[in-house]
Amino acid sequence: MNFTDLIQRFAAQNPGTDSFLKVKEGTLALISSDAEHAGPYFLIYGFARSYVLLYEDQAIEPAFAEAAKKQLLQYMTRLEDAFRSGSAAEILAAMNWIVIDYGHSGKIF
């Protein structure tokens, strides 16, 4: 599986801890198989892991779960675009944007 496949699968799944768990597992596998992008994968892994730890045993409102999924998808697609550029500077800029955006967000994961 590659990052694009992981994004597509996540986008197609219902929002909730199961879909975030699959992102967590997928990015962990990608860290091992694509070391060049280990940092960005670890960033996404951390968000997915946090969501699972915070909400796996809780009833979550559908709107909340959808908002979290939308935010993580935005981060994943931002990284995917940077990967396509092939530029380390673009990847770093995408990671920085994600961290800053997350800091200004509701920090739901």
Number of domains in the chain: 1
Within a domain: 35: yes
Within a domain: 16: yes
Residue-number span of the structural domain to which 62 is assigned: 3-104
Q: What average pLDDT is seen over the chain? A: 97
Within a domain: 25: yes
Selected residue with higher pLDDT from 45 and 107: 45
Cα 52 from Cα 95, distance rounded (Å): 21
Within a domain: 109: no
Within a domain: 28: yes
Nearest-5° Cα angle at 89, 83 to 95: 65
Residue position matching structure tokens 């550029």: 85
Cα 39 from Cα 61, distance rounded (Å): 31
Residue 77: the pLDDT is: 98
* Cβ atoms within 10 Å of 23's Cβ, excluding its own: 25
Cα 64 from Cα 74, distance rounded (Å): 15
Within a domain: 53: yes
Residue 78: the pLDDT is: 98
Stated pTM of the model: 0.95
Within a domain: 86: yes
| Rounded alpha-carbon distances, angstroms, from residue 52 to 22, 46, 84, 90 | 10, 10, 29, 29
Within a domain: 51: yes
